Amino acid sequence: MSQRVLTGITTTGTLHLGNYVGAIRPAIAASRAVGVESFFFMADFHALIKCDEPDRIAHSSRAIAATWLAAGLDADRVTFYRQSDIPEIPELTWLLTCVTAKGQMNRAHAYKAAVDAAVAAGEEPDANVSLGLFSYPVLMAADILLFNAHKVPVGKDQIQHIEMARDIGQRFNHQFGKGEELFTLPEAVTDAEMELLPGLDGRKMSKSYDNVVPLFEGGSAALKDAVARIVTDSKLPGEPKEPEGQALVALYDAFATPEQRQAFRAALLGGLGWGDAKQQLVAQIESQIGPMRERYAALMANPEQLEAILQTGAAKARAIAAPFLQRLRAAVGLRPYTATAATAVARTEKAALPVFKQYREADGKFYFKLLSAGGELLLQSSGFEQGREAGQWVARLKREGWVADAPVQREASETDVAAALAAFQQET
Ligand code: TRP
């Protein structure tokens, strides 16, 4: 079975170099691995909790979507969507809210931080706490559990939320699963590199420290300005400089090959001036970011294209989410009253599912094909001498999902095929 990796980015701001190096670049690289099914989304429901400026949320969502694509995300290969395009997410949030202990939410770091800040300011403890902020971890659990993600790459500050998602998923399985696992229990993945990129002042690059290098915003001029503000020591050109511990060197490393890193260190030890070093750093970053910035500008100038990509992504995500949610509704007792209605519901669900067709051709051989819910050809088998062989392959694909060495011709992207096959695993 392939590994499902899922992560979201809250759409409240624009991205900086730390987000790119720490989250986007490794996530895109990981999404290219075989056996990995990636889900990336704009967490715009989460943005509503932190931000009450509608225009800023709308702009941020669009900018972040364009950033992922400009940075090389292949939307055909992964499932790339806006959280708010998936109505199954808020619906699952409610089902999960009903099995979540309030006491557990009381212990969430983000909530406690808000309470501490209010108390310190001499206000009521819950003065600045909306129910949205309070139950933020439940919404995040729904994001993750709805797609049965195995791995969730996040920054350290989010580990507690993943643990809560596990906990909530486990409680739900226990209460409604009747011995069967409804939800996969997710694991947080933290990457040391994620925490490493320093900002202009040497502390971790972060909006809240006002020490960021913008990724695309402001163009190459903004990049140059930011680099000019990197704090160094006061050694003059010609004096040997200790490279280790310098924010400038760590930033250079993030965009350089091992050979380039070594040469840069040697030049500093040999007396390279900080001004020249900064010029080299700008050139180094620009060589990677420059071409992406152009793609970013093109995507931002073409909202129709961006919108179409996200609509496709939403359809792909919902092909997985909708049938699964039907199962969860039934598990908690939200069921049609009559058997006829139940079959009707089942029939609409069936109609919305992909199908395997088995048949025999004039050549006497047995074949099968997989059609999407919409009737599009996804897989075409080669001919089998025995009907049984074809049947066994169909059973195996239904059970295990996409098998790379299956004797079939793949007619659609691997992600589309995997998403269609996933529907069979949830069916049983
Ligand atoms: N809360 C995360 C953050 O602020 C964003 C997020 C929302 C997320 N839903 C998620 C991350 C699900 C991983 C999985 O960084």
SS (H, E, C) 60-111: HHHHHHHHHHHCCCCCCCCEEEEHHHCCHHHHHHHHHHCCCCHHHHHCCHHH
* d(CA 8, ligand 1 centre) in Å: 5
Is domain 337-426 in CATH 3.30.160.160, yes or no?
yes
| Distance, CA of 101 to CA of 104 (rounded, Å) | 5
The answer to whether the CB of 158 is under 6 A from ligand 1 is yes
At 24 the pLDDT is 92
Atom in ligand 1 nearest the alpha carbon of residue 10: 5
Size of the chain in residues: 428
Q: Could you tell me if the CB of 64 is within 6 A of ligand 1?
A: no
Fold designation for 207-299? Tyrosyl-Transfer RNA Synthetase (1.10.240)
Residue 413: predicted pLDDT: 86
Ligand 1 proximity of 75 Cβ (cutoff 6 Å): no
Please give the CATH topology (third level) of the domain spanning 3-100+135-196+302-322. Rossmann fold (3.40.50)
Ligand 1 mutation target, pool 109, 158, 159, most atoms within 8 A of CB = 158
Alpha-carbon distance 368 to 361, whole Å? Answer: 10
3 state SS of 187: strand
* pLDDT reported for residue 404: 82
Q: Where are the domains of the chain?
A: 3-100+135-196+302-322, 207-299, 337-426
What SS3 class is residue 214?
Answer: strand
- pLDDT for the residue numbered 193: 58
Ligand 1, residue 143: give the atom nearest the CA: 12
Which residue puts its alpha carbon closest to atom 8 of ligand 1?
8
User: How much distance in Å is there from the Cα of 140 to the middle of ligand 1?
Assistant: 6
Q: How far apart are CA 57 and CA 423, in angstroms?
A: 33
pLDDT score at 402: 86
Q: Ligand 1 centroid vs 283 CA: distance in angstroms?
A: 33
Q: Can you tell me the distance from the alpha carbon of 380 to that of 165, in angstroms, rounded to the nearest whole number?
A: 39
Distance 295 CA to ligand 1 centre (A): 26
pLDDT, mean of each 10-residue run, the chain (428 residues): 91 90 91 94 94 91 97 96 98 98 95 94 94 96 98 91 97 91 94 77 89 94 96 95 95 95 97 97 97 97 96 96 96 87 63 82 91 87 92 91 88 86 71
Instruction: Give, to the nearest 10 degrees, the angle between helix 303-332 and helix 54-70.
Output: 100
Place of tokens 């003059």: 236
186 lines ligand 1 (CB under 6 A): no
Largest distance between two CA atoms of the chain: 86
* 391-394 contacts at long range (C-beta below 8 A, 24 or more positions apart): 391/358, 393/368, 394/356, 394/358, 394/368
3-state secondary structure of 378: strand
CA of 201 to the centre of ligand 1 (A): 27
pLDDT of residue 428: 46
118 vs 129: CA distance, rounded Å: 9
Residue position matching structure tokens 């080669």: 382
Q: Best mutation site among 4, 5, 6, 10 for ligand 1, i.e. most ligand atoms within 8 A of its Cβ?
A: 10
Q: Which residue puts its alpha carbon closest to atom 13 of ligand 1?
A: 7
